[in-house]
Amino acid sequence: MPQKLESGGVLMCVGLIVGMALMAAHPQVSPAQSGRGQDWLSWSPRERRDFVAAYLDGYSRGKIDACEAAANLFASQKPYSDLEDDPERKCFNHSKRYAQNADNYAALLTDFYLKHGDHLDIPVEYFLLLFTDDSYKTVENIENGIRKGDVRTSGW
């Protein structure tokens, strides 16, 4: 008989699976290799959009795969009368998501780097991770996060 896990345990396991999937999908690179503001600004608008679109696609595929794996790991053999009880759906609904399209995120990054030449060392990937948080949807939101110390600007 399968053990019943509390939602916190399920979410923790799902988080670990998503983290492993993302690490496997995005190999670690040294800070010297990581894309920074100067690199970003040297790319064409199409290259910027394509980079963000590929990142979003990879994130989405990783999330789908991780939630599928979690569902297979924690699913019971009995059918669900309420789809909201399905582990795959629970995982997907509780995981971070991107609310905008690649063009919007590319424009936001470009605007930030153009306005803040003193922060060109912040990696592009760091901003992309921030964008899953509803607090960081505009340049002004990011500026407020920097002022409050919630957004890292050094230590890369």
Listed as own residue / partner, the contacts of 70-73 with beta carbons closer than 8 Å and 24 or more positions apart are 70/10, 70/13, 70/14, 70/17, 73/13
State the Cα–Cα distance between residues 57 and 53, nearest whole angstrom. 6
Q: Residue 132's pLDDT band (boundaries 50, 70, 90)?
A: confident
Q: Residue 25's pLDDT band (boundaries 50, 70, 90)?
A: very low
Give yes or no for a contact between 91 and 71, defined as CB atoms under 8 angstroms apart.
yes
- Looking at 42-56, 59-73, 100-114, which range is the least confident one? 59-73
Distance (Å) of CA 106 to CA 25, 125, 131, 141? 21, 12, 11, 16
DSSP 48-100: HHHHHHHHHHHHHHHHHHHHHHHHHHH--SSPPSSGGG-HHHHHHHHS----S
Give yes or no for a contact between 103 and 49, defined as CB atoms under 8 angstroms apart.
yes
Q: Residue 76's pLDDT band (boundaries 50, 70, 90)?
A: low
Give yes or no for a contact between 60 and 97, defined as CB atoms under 8 angstroms apart.
no
Q: Which two tokens stand for residue 51?
A: 């980079």
Q: Residue 105's pLDDT band (boundaries 50, 70, 90)?
A: very high
Burial label for 124, CB within 10 Å (0-12, 13-18, 19+), is buried
